[in-house]
Structure 1
């Protein structure tokens, strides 16, 4: 099963507490139907390898999930790098029970929390494409000197499902993360040596197994979980040391934010979510598959692993908050949550080819609804441009939303203002209808026809009336 991930990054203009949004897709969402894998009967040697490593992975899964550090030491090879060993210890610590009862606040913490509990957490050997990936001769010699009789580098998948502070926590389908590991055999037993990158040519390994490695929230130290009831069931807020205040705000704001999005979108969505509050740029970048620093002015991102079209569900959807979000007031954070939850609610109806003026403008409209005054207060860069005679001639193109361009702020604000104009003029019901119709994507003629079908007016007139509304709002 190939997984895809889409990140929607929401920059925030801290000076005006104006959360903006940019959503980019690196793939077309696809169904969870299994890959067709050509298989042949394993020979006895290969079967022994597979069975031995499978038994080890079962032990490793249970040991990590139970937070058993002492048991973990018995499964890791003595030749493993200290960084790899420490990495596994971090995972075990994040799942380990702590002395305080669940639901009790640690001293000086603003939020009740406990260790993360998962409904499912299991490593397994994954199909390998291409030739076997070999270790460097000198490293093999080192393992053999310690008594190893075989080594194996193989793709490994991790199937997991959250979870939260308490069981069963968030009700979600199984998520599959992809990676690779190196193993060594000693007699009848196997031990894990390290990541698959120990092999001499990890680039070649990535070509043989093109599934990109993913990162779980438990892979950074200091993770905790707190649950909150929302209208769709239990939602969970995961957070790291340093993000306790942010997690406390999210826990307080989330139920109302879910209800407010439902008031716009309707009840046909999950109405529960996992939110992750990060404390460092490294955590945010890893969890959203972005580069550190790319979103220095960002507030949040939504990510998902894949869309199961047959089951009608999104797999592995998360709202990830950046460290910068810790500086937001409760009011501004509520805007960000409503914006991101609108992405969650609309995910199944949004094609990758849908225009960004729609997929960012409408969530921002829902996020900011009831919080803004006039256009000048809500969209200062756009208002200044209009006041100076530079009225947008058309809806912003996708390229103008790049966070690296000077025109990006005006593009975000233009998208919000168009949604606000449609909502005010035609009503929220027709605005949602426009989102669903235009959100199916297609060529320009198709999306223009979808707008006319939803609003009853040609796109050219709607845009012209919006431009006139902008000038009126700034007194031009």
Structure 2
């Protein structure tokens, strides 16, 4: 029985150079919330020392900016830095975005942590934190007394445990609580996925992917800031910011180790190829792109060279068509909700895939690529698909939908 796969898209520098870069970045930040320039400047200096300690894996310096009386926090900070030891960091900065003073020797800072993985990220990943600080009257310096995620901010992988890094030819796999053999296998499959996507997507892209493998689906949910129940049947998802600027923050493919382990080699290749397609097409995907197109295209790339029939790839849709209960319209965005009914979700993915298959079969691959670019390049969702259908395919939404319904019957009936 064919598996039904469902997925969701010189490091060491001289110390002086690192500190100079960090201080420059901090110096460019405006005082926050009307806080006194001196207080803001001193707190930035504390944060800059902490950032430099991370880049140099200097545990003593990392703990040195923590209040000496906060012994539990000091121990936790040392453990956190140790967990980062295998992560190839290219940058780590803090930007002060807000500051509330409590008297002359206490303050709460809103901080944006930005970090970049060396060789993989074209722009930093940003994480909002809240940091409490106290001034030591003896030396006049500010020390951290508490550090926690801001409301709505997600957890990071290293907050879950020791991170082990495995480098593939075109991938970096970062895992917590997983065996080395498991991570090696994922890196090998991710490398295959990168090659498959490069063959399917005609534009230049980074040609590499970062894969995160948490210890459990519960920890996966924490990385994504959503309940674990949303992902129990989902083998992997991709995070990232859509847009055509080419400067979007880094994508991460996050694997659900529990669902992924249930798949065979074929299923795992499809999952990681699908997710890697989202990475490759990110700059051509925007808020104007309907989910049926972004997910359908990712499935099209994943199944493109696989020897499977349409009925094997789209069993839920095949059953609906054969029973006379085929869809009357293309899937809506809400049909792709992870928390929704499983059969509805499966049919949404299958419907999107078959829409892309229709374009390729009737108009050709180049037209599919042009259509994807045209939709994503539209100024907004309204009219995006309609205009692209007219300009690229020479058809209308009504005609395309009618063709798609006939195509479903021909391929699946």
Using the size of structure 1 for normalisation, the TM-score is 0.73
Specify the alignment match of 1:342 in structure 2. 277
CA distance in 2: counterparts of 1:472 and 1:307, whole angstroms:
36
Partner of residue 115 from structure 2, selected from 150, 153, 160 = 160
Is 2:142 the partner of 1:190?
yes
**Which stretches in structure 1 are left out of the alignment for 5+ residues?**
1-14, 24-35, 97-114, 136-148, 164-168, 207-211
Whether contact under 8 Å (1:342, 1:363) holds in the other structure is yes
Whether contact under 8 Å (1:237, 1:277) holds in the other structure is yes
Specify the alignment match of 1:408 in structure 2. 345
Provide the secondary structure at the position in 2 that maps to 1:327. Answer: coil
Partner of residue 367 from structure 1, selected from 302, 315, 320 = 302
Distance 1:221 1:446, change over 3 A: closer
Distance 1:40 1:443, change over 3 A: closer
Whether contact under 8 Å (1:75, 1:191) holds in the other structure is yes
Map 1:51-450; keep pairs closer than 5 Å: 51-80=41-70, 82=72, 84-96=73-85, 115-124=86-95, 126-128=96-98, 132=100, 134=102, 150-163=105-118, 169-170=119-120, 172-186=122-136, 187-188=138-139, 189-195=141-147, 212-230=152-170, 235-242=171-178, 244-304=180-240, 309=245, 312-323=246-257, 324-406=259-341, 407-441=344-378, 442=380, 445-450=383-388
* CA positional deviation for 1:335: 0.9
Higher helix fraction: Structure 1 or Structure 2? 2
* CA positional deviation for 1:42: 7.8
Specify the alignment match of 1:467 in structure 2. 405
Specify the alignment match of 2:13 in structure 1. none
CA distance in 2: counterparts of 1:284 and 1:41, whole angstroms:
35
Whether contact under 8 Å (1:306, 1:316) holds in the other structure is no
CA distance in 1: counterparts of 2:383 and 2:153, whole angstroms:
39
Distance 1:448 1:51, change over 3 A: closer
Q: Summarize deviations over 1:205-244 as a string: whole Å, max 9, x none.
A: x6xxxxx5344333221202122333xxxx4221122253
Using the size of structure 2 for normalisation, the TM-score is 0.83
CA distance in 2: counterparts of 1:345 and 1:151, whole angstroms:
46
Number of aligned residue pairs: give it.
Answer: 389
Whether contact under 8 Å (2:116, 2:125) holds in the other structure is yes
- With 151-160 and 49-58 compared, the bigger mean Cα shift is at 49-58
**Which stretches in structure 2 are left out of the alignment for 5+ residues?**
10-27
Q: Summarize deviations over 1:40-67 as a string: whole Å, max 9, x none.
A: 9988xx3443343233223322333444
CA distance in 2: counterparts of 1:40 and 1:179, whole angstroms:
15
Whether contact under 8 Å (2:190, 2:209) holds in the other structure is no
CA distance in 1: counterparts of 2:405 and 2:5, whole angstroms:
23
Give the structure, 1 or 2, with the largest relative contact order (CA under 8 Å, sep 6 or more). 1
Q: Summarize deviations over 1:26-47 as a string: whole Å, max 9, x none.
A: xxxxxxxxxx98759988xx34
Whether contact under 8 Å (2:160, 2:219) holds in the other structure is yes
CA distance in 2: counterparts of 1:260 and 1:252, whole angstroms:
13
CA distance in 2: counterparts of 1:62 and 1:16, whole angstroms:
51
Provide the secondary structure at the position in 1 that maps to 2:169. Answer: strand
Whether contact under 8 Å (1:239, 1:247) holds in the other structure is yes
CA distance in 2: counterparts of 1:57 and 1:297, whole angstroms:
41
Whether contact under 8 Å (1:253, 1:334) holds in the other structure is yes
Whether contact under 8 Å (2:212, 2:253) holds in the other structure is yes
Whether contact under 8 Å (2:296, 2:353) holds in the other structure is yes
Specify the alignment match of 1:144 in structure 2. none
Specify the alignment match of 2:395 in structure 1. 457
CA distance in 2: counterparts of 1:191 and 1:161, whole angstroms:
25
* CA positional deviation for 1:307: 5.1
Specify the alignment match of 1:17 in structure 2. 3
* CA positional deviation for 1:158: 1.8
- With 438-447 and 49-58 compared, the bigger mean Cα shift is at 438-447
Whether contact under 8 Å (2:7, 2:275) holds in the other structure is no
* CA positional deviation for 1:291: 2.4
* CA positional deviation for 1:299: 1.3
Distance 1:333 1:196, change over 3 A: closer
CA distance in 1: counterparts of 2:183 and 2:203, whole angstroms:
26
Q: Summarize deviations over 1:59-103 as a string: whole Å, max 9, x none.
A: 322333444444444432255383x4454233211233xxxxxxx
